[in-house]
Amino acid sequence: MNRTRVVVIGAGIIGAACARELAVAGFDVLVLDRAGAAAATTSHGEGNILVSDKGPGPELELAQLSRQLWPEVLAAVGENSAGVEWDPKGGIVVATTAEGAEGLRRFAATQRAAGVRAEAMDSDALTAAEPFLTERRTAAVYYPDDAQVQPAGAATALLADALRAGARLRTGREVRGAVVRGGRLTALRTADGPVAADVFVNAAGPWSGEVARRLGVPLDIRPRRGEVLVTTPLPPTVFHKVYDADYVGAVGSGAGDLQTSAVVESTRAGSVLLGSSRRRVGFDDRLRPEVLSAIAAKALRLFPSLAGVHVMRAYGGFRPYVPDHLPVIGADPRLPGLWHATGHEGAGIGLSVGTARLVREMLTDRQTAIDASPFRVDRPAVLGSDTGTDAPDAPEEES
């Protein structure tokens, strides 16, 4: 039997999840990455799997689907999942002002109506759950379904399982252009020659726009910089994912200037991650002291006891940002053969397994688990004219 050949461009968490889902479903899968597995954004962020920061709508539905799939996928991955550090610890969102409390209560009520478990906490319950949290809090909501993984560990586990299911991985292979026959994408140009397949999935994260441009079809995916601080291992100090209620506003905002909000969580090794910032500065990867200091100041507002702890390192990455804050998942109607699975901004770790499920369902003409039409490629936010790149190269047509 001839199996459908799929090339996945990108070995980050999205490419890894798609490769696994498709290989397990019987597709002949090849993953290409210009660097290595989990070499880019996936290893430059945090590993929050959140339903708490999403209001009712398509992204929340994808988050709910993904949250439901994660334990199932990890059970199927089995022994390869050791490095994933799955921790369904739950999240606590804390407001520190009267206005913030009001906003948080309203937001949680809309989420409950959409099926999210969101439980108001009184001050005693909050102290019991997070004894080192600031006394200056005005409201808190507990989200039992928030969880955490080690993102690079999760991506490599998914990829390892894809390889076990028959997928192949080629690193050091940069996609440079398209071979188009009869209006259909039939191969990718690389320095080592063309790579042919029936279907190509663009999962190149913040570089997906550039990959699409090289294939002749512009896509408005932009980098949105974010930084994180990592403390030295501490005695137990932070027990859930704890973040400031203003984080939701920062996530939903499209502002290009610096935004920071406190997202604090401990890791299995004892380090505490202090995140995070959001800036639109192109692919400028310089760490800025003023950004790191703003992140630290916000974290201290939530956990004053962190004052004086040692920061071991800081790092940053580029979230794949789409102006309407929705991922892009599906076939590209402008170039048959090309699919996209990208644009997950600050939620790609959490949303990866749901995205992969949708790609598989659409590729096999199945009813999708949730309505995938809001993620379609031909929506104005994605095909917008301001792609931040030069005019696209015309795809090379071969007869």
Ligand X SMILES: Cc1cc2nc3c(=O)[nH]c(=O)nc-3n(C[C@H](O)[C@H](O)[C@H](O)COP(=O)(O)OP(=O)(O)OC[C@H]3O[C@@H](n4cnc5c(N)ncnc54)[C@H](O)[C@@H]3O)c2cc1C
How many C-beta atoms lie closer than 10 Å to residue 322's C-beta? 26
Closest by alpha carbon to 156, among 348, 17, 48, 23?
17
Closest by alpha carbon to 154, among 319, 346, 328, 351?
351
- Find the shortest distance in angstroms from Cβ 272 to ligand X: 14
Tell me the two tokens of residue 372. 């995938």
216 interacts with ligand X by CB under 6 A = no
- Residues numbered 252 to 291 that lie near ligand X (CB under 6 A) are 275-276
Instruction: Between 137 and 214, name the residue whose CB sits nearer to ligand X.
Output: 214
32 interacts with ligand X by CB under 6 A = yes
Tell me the two tokens of residue 164. 């076990």
CA 67-72-74 angle, 5° bins: 95
- Find the shortest distance in angstroms from Cβ 139 to ligand X: 23
Sole binder of ligand X in the list 319, 340, 357, 360 (CB under 6 A) = 319
* Stretch binding ligand X (CB under 6 A), from 77-85, 285-293, 297-305, 311-319: 311-319
Q: Are 249 and 262 in contact (CB under 8 A)?
A: no
- Residues numbered 105 to 164 that lie near ligand X (CB under 6 A) are none
Strands 184-189 and 195-196: antiparallel
Instruction: Between 32 and 219, name the residue whose CB sits nearer to ligand X.
Output: 32
Instruction: Between 101 and 187, name the residue whose CB sits nearer to ligand X.
Output: 187
* Stretch binding ligand X (CB under 6 A), from 60-68, 106-114, 134-142, 344-352: 344-352
Read out DSSP for 312-371? Answer: EEEEEEEEEE-TTS--EEEE-TTSTTEEEEE--GGGHHHHHHHHHHHHHHHHTTPPPSS-
Sole binder of ligand X in the list 175, 251, 272, 300 (CB under 6 A) = 175
Name the β-bridge partners of 360: none
Instruction: Between 90 and 275, name the residue whose CB sits nearer to ligand X.
Output: 275
For binding to ligand X (CB under 6 A), which residues are involved? 9-15, 32-35, 39-42, 44-48, 174-175, 203-207, 211, 226-228, 275-276, 316-317, 319-320, 342, 344-350
